[in-house]
Structure 1
Amino acid sequence: MAAALRLARAGVRVTVVESYDEPGGGLRSVTDATVPGLVHDLGAGFHPLLIDNPFTREVDLIAAGVEWAWPEVQFAHPLDAALDPGHGAAAYRSVEETAAGLGRDGAAWRRIFAPLVEGWDELAVDALQPPLHVPRHPVGLARFGAQAVLPAAVMARAFRTERARALWTGIATHGFRPPTVPMSSAIALMLGTAAHKYGWPVAVGGSQRIVDATTRLLAEAGGRVETGRRVASLDELGSPDLVMLDTGPGEALRILGDRAPALTRRSYGRWPAGPAAFQVSFAVDGGIPWDYEPARRAGTLHLGGSLADTTSAERSVERGRLPRLPYVLLGQQYLADPSRAQGSVVPIDCYAHVPAGWDDGDAALAAVVDRIAAYAPGFRDRVVATAVRGPAQLFAENPNWIGGDIAAGLVTPLRLAWGARPSLSPYDTGVAGVHLCSAVTPPGPGAHGLCGWNAAGVALDRLERAAAS
């Protein structure tokens, strides 16, 4: 939708073709997953990079009806008392408040994040653009890059306490990789800085409101959305000037067919799938009774234990084994947006990292419940209803999520830099006029519309050059 809006606002006649009955993909909200009336986000629930980026500086989502709300605590990482007497750590909008809660590691947290928050407006201009460009702020970008390329486990050595290492590692593991892999620090730096700069907000009424707003804005710009139609081949599209594929490499190959050049066929055909998500929606009476008090006020919870625990769990997942206690990313959106609840019953949305294609739903659900209950005794007694979506269902809902991989492929350094195909432009497919605009292109998954926005910018440049010639 970001790509469609950029093109439509530049005067291009745009049609968005969606294979399902409604637009949105992973950005959906429903009121019938557990208890009728509870608003559950079935995909993205928090939007830290959407408040102020190149897309939303041009597209006013607030004027289009999106209302943002913030939890008091942006994210928290509970720990066993044996690991940390304080039972965990929490991140606030303020770097100073966060550092104060980290004791002797507060200074290290401040050294990492205070300069990034202060210089974020300049850094984001370069860090969120396509990789090949002339940096406007090369010194800041180089400083960020020197840290971003490191494994999160290496950056964790800056901390002396388990609580600070766990807080850092919890953010890094959003990337579905062990914290020992190169560039796993990049995700932690981006999301941690965004938490301190803008917070991790939710859309009041559910993330679906963002889709509703962009769809309405596209119509106002002269574009339209056609649902319930799955494109089988470029041939059925006629001869448009541009085609933007919001797909994974496999789906792109299917659509490109014989037009795909050899390099594209090789690169897209070898695109590696990553671990899967096992998504769970809970209806909980009275909320989750966390032992760690700040967790009761946190919008997002990272449940992974210590750095060693998280590393072990993520390695098990990559080897095809379900960890006894997997990494769980849990959202308490209702804390920022109480309208999502029904009386004392509140919605909880979470997912665990599981092996690709994992099909033992009972084992995965038990592991998720065990992980939560380890930090919240009494949780089981408060659960009113549960709904799950395993890897097979996720893949059925979205063919980009092969084996339930909601990151649309393994997050590797080359992917973050170059996308799915080695090229001067990661958005090119090798077929004239056809571009990738999905999360397989930089800046990567979770970048809130910027993959599409950047891809549309490249496509517009090509159109303008063609018209000039």
Structure 2
Amino acid sequence: MDHPGATNVAWDAVVVGSGPNGLTAAAMLARAGRRVLVVEAASTVGGGMRSAELFEPGVVHDLCSAVHPLGRVSPAFAELGLADHGLRWLTPEVSLTHVFDARSSVALHRDGAAGAEELGIDAAAWRRLVAVDEKHLTTLISQVLRPLGLPRHPWPMARFGARALRSVDRFTRAFDDHRTRTLFAGAAAHAMVEMSAAGSAGPGLLLLAPSSTTGWPIARGGSQAIADALVSCLREAGGEIETGRRITAFDELPPAHQYYFDTSVTSLLDVLGARLPSRVARAYRRWRYGPGVCKIDFLLSEPIPWRSESATRTATVHVAQDYRQIADAETAVAHGEHPRRPWLLCGEPTRLDPLRAEGSAGGETTSAGGGRAHSTRHVAWAYCHVPNGSSRDMGEAMIDELERCAPGFRDVVVASRVQTAAQLGEHDANFVGGDIGCGATSLRQILGRPRFSPNPVRPNPYATGVPGVYLCSSATAPGGGVHGMSGYWAAKFGLAE
């Protein structure tokens, strides 16, 4: 077959994988006038953005990613104009609620006055150390969601970096209320890192940056709507997609000038094989994956019976009795052990988006008076962190935690489905061992994602050492999350060559 750079080929670029980064790269390239083909192994596009009917027709569940604080502020999504392709964000007034037990919770409000009242004695410290006002948010996001290099805005980045490099244990000493410490720890632990690890505060600061402005939204209709908008953008620009085609060797790809891999580092090694320069192959083999997640999806007859009012006004709820529960769970998982007591990340999208369940089989019931009464199903999900590759079913342990904080929860569960970390890895090849971030969020792998660049002034973490071949998954900078920025920057570098 032709190698990258060959003439008289059908495609300027072939993108392998249709997750948020692959589709973003493809759309960027197609809008620049390139002939683009996306090749996807699954029968549907979207990767971690996929949604599906799991239990009843007309009831939509997000299969992985569900809440998108960075998607709403993504420079890539803004440049592609996804709103013009049907994407609509639904944003609650409460970005996040942390529930400690049936009586106690703390919430992050988008409204400044409500937020200050909620955080009490820690309001000033939170505003100084965590909150980002709207006029500075765009600058911060544009600087953080890019390859490491000389910043265009040195002072904001220096200020952010000084805080981000701290451990969560050290950073949260600034707060007097244990509830505030736990609130921050839950956000930081999205990255599946020990609270004592250097740099563990960084993911929390980044995720929380939009919390008081653009909030933590969900996509109307399900996360698949983000994928659908990217597909619409790609096709409008002339790009094409082929599903149900798994690539296991480079020779299986059609001839093209460039190739972009929205895949794990492991898959890239397998496909490129001996084509990779030995120094690059060695660096890729040193890549380490992080812990996995065990996820449970619920079909409910009624919303979760939270006693906390703020938990009913958000798309995202964290459940942990205290800071120690989070810290102990993350330490156990980092050492390859299952947590004695998991802490939960969970959500109820139908609180904001009831149309996700409007077509359910339980849509109508007979009322006491003999008439027809509308009755909509409800959707919820939860997950916890487990060792990479774990096949342990943590469903009952997660339900126990939900029942502890929302007594009567078991009574509203119509159906549930657990996916272990091992099963998540089988569902999506990028989630190696159930690692939904496509690589451990250690300080070394943040600074060199996926390897240290030979050019520190203008690093190119997407180059593979094979001419015309790029890695564009969240294994590359800036890392995990549905924001498309890894694909965006890979395409930028490819277009410049």
Matched, 1:58 2:74: no
Instruction: Look up the match of 1:347.
Output: 379
Instruction: Look up the match of 1:98.
Output: 115
Greater shift, 176-185 or 229-238, is seen at 229-238
Contact 1:95/1:196 (8 A) holds in 2: yes
1:145 aligns to what SS in structure 2? helix
Residues in 2 aligned to 1:96 and 1:180: alpha-carbon distance in whole angstroms: 32
Q: For 1:27, which of 24, 49, 53 is the aligned residue?
A: 49
Paired residues for 1:378-417 under 5 Å: 378-417=408-447
Q: For 1:260, which of 272, 276, 280 is the aligned residue?
A: 276
1:12-54, CA deviations, whole angstroms, 9 ceiling, x for partnerless residues? 11101101111111111112x1333221111111111122332
Letter aligned with residue 113 of structure 1: V
Matched, 1:230 2:246: yes
Matched, 1:120 2:137: yes
| Structure 1 residue 406, shift from structure 2 partner | 1.2
Contact 1:416/1:441 (8 A) holds in 2: no
Matched, 1:303 2:335: no
1:63-103, CA deviations, whole angstroms, 9 ceiling, x for partnerless residues? 1011211223211101147xxxx612101113442221011
1:364-399, CA deviations, whole angstroms, 9 ceiling, x for partnerless residues? 111111111121111111111111211222111112
1:50 aligns to what SS in structure 2? helix
Instruction: Look up the match of 1:45.
Output: 66
Residues in 1 aligned to 2:261 and 2:126: alpha-carbon distance in whole angstroms: 40
Letter aligned with residue 56 of structure 1: F
Residues in 2 aligned to 1:178 and 1:374: alpha-carbon distance in whole angstroms: 25
2:211 aligns to what SS in structure 1? helix
1:98-157, CA deviations, whole angstroms, 9 ceiling, x for partnerless residues? 22101111111111234554411222222212112x422111111111111111221111
Matched, 1:191 2:214: no
Paired residues for 1:41-440 under 5 Å: 41-80=62-101, 87-115=104-132, 117-132=134-149, 134-342=150-358, 343-361=375-393, 364-423=394-453, 424-440=459-475
Residues in 2 aligned to 1:115 and 1:214: alpha-carbon distance in whole angstroms: 28
Contact 2:77/2:483 (8 A) holds in 1: no
1:169-205, CA deviations, whole angstroms, 9 ceiling, x for partnerless residues? 1110110112221212111111111122211111111
Instruction: Look up the match of 1:465.
Output: none
1:443 aligns to what SS in structure 2? coil
Letter aligned with residue 112 of structure 1: L
| Structure 1 residue 414, shift from structure 2 partner | 2.2
Instruction: Look up the match of 2:30.
Output: 8
Contact 2:133/2:212 (8 A) holds in 1: no
Q: What are structure 1's unaligned runs of at least 5 residues?
A: 463-469
Letter aligned with residue 191 of structure 2: G
Contact 1:95/1:113 (8 A) holds in 2: no
2:172 aligns to what SS in structure 1? helix
1:101 aligns to what SS in structure 2? helix
Identity over aligned pairs, percent:
40
Residues in 1 aligned to 2:331 and 2:131: alpha-carbon distance in whole angstroms: 32
| Structure 1 residue 344, shift from structure 2 partner | 4.2
1:44 aligns to what SS in structure 2? coil
1:387 aligns to what SS in structure 2? strand
Contact 2:402/2:409 (8 A) holds in 1: yes
Letter aligned with residue 419 of structure 1: R
Contact 1:17/1:225 (8 A) holds in 2: yes
1:253-297, CA deviations, whole angstroms, 9 ceiling, x for partnerless residues? 011111111122212112212111111111122211123221122
Instruction: Look up the match of 1:466.
Output: none
Residues in 1 aligned to 2:68 and 2:132: alpha-carbon distance in whole angstroms: 22
Aligned CA distance change for structure 1 residues 116 and 267 (closer, same or farther; 3 Å)? farther
Instruction: Report how many aligned residue pairs link the two structures.
Output: 454
Letter aligned with residue 274 of structure 1: G
1:23 aligns to what SS in structure 2? coil
Contact 1:277/1:352 (8 A) holds in 2: yes
Letter aligned with residue 258 of structure 1: A
Aligned CA distance change for structure 1 residues 117 and 155 (closer, same or farther; 3 Å)? farther
Aligned CA distance change for structure 1 residues 51 and 360 (closer, same or farther; 3 Å)? closer
Residues in 2 aligned to 1:52 and 1:161: alpha-carbon distance in whole angstroms: 30
Residues in 1 aligned to 2:441 and 2:132: alpha-carbon distance in whole angstroms: 26
Contact 1:421/1:429 (8 A) holds in 2: no
Contact 1:69/1:337 (8 A) holds in 2: yes
Contact 2:249/2:271 (8 A) holds in 1: yes
1:194 aligns to what SS in structure 2? coil
Residues in 2 aligned to 1:222 and 1:418: alpha-carbon distance in whole angstroms: 35
Contact 1:415/1:442 (8 A) holds in 2: no
TM-score of the superposed pair, with normalisation by structure 2: 0.88
Greater shift, 188-197 or 166-175, is seen at 188-197
Contact 1:358/1:391 (8 A) holds in 2: yes
2:59 aligns to what SS in structure 1? coil
Residues in 1 aligned to 2:72 and 2:311: alpha-carbon distance in whole angstroms: 24
Letter aligned with residue 117 of structure 2: A
| Structure 1 residue 305, shift from structure 2 partner | 2.8
| Structure 1 residue 418, shift from structure 2 partner | 2.0
| Structure 1 residue 416, shift from structure 2 partner | 1.9
Letter aligned with residue 17 of structure 1: V
Letter aligned with residue 369 of structure 1: I
1:401-430, CA deviations, whole angstroms, 9 ceiling, x for partnerless residues? 121111112111222222112223211111
Q: What are structure 2's unaligned runs of at least 5 residues?
A: 1-22, 359-374, 454-458
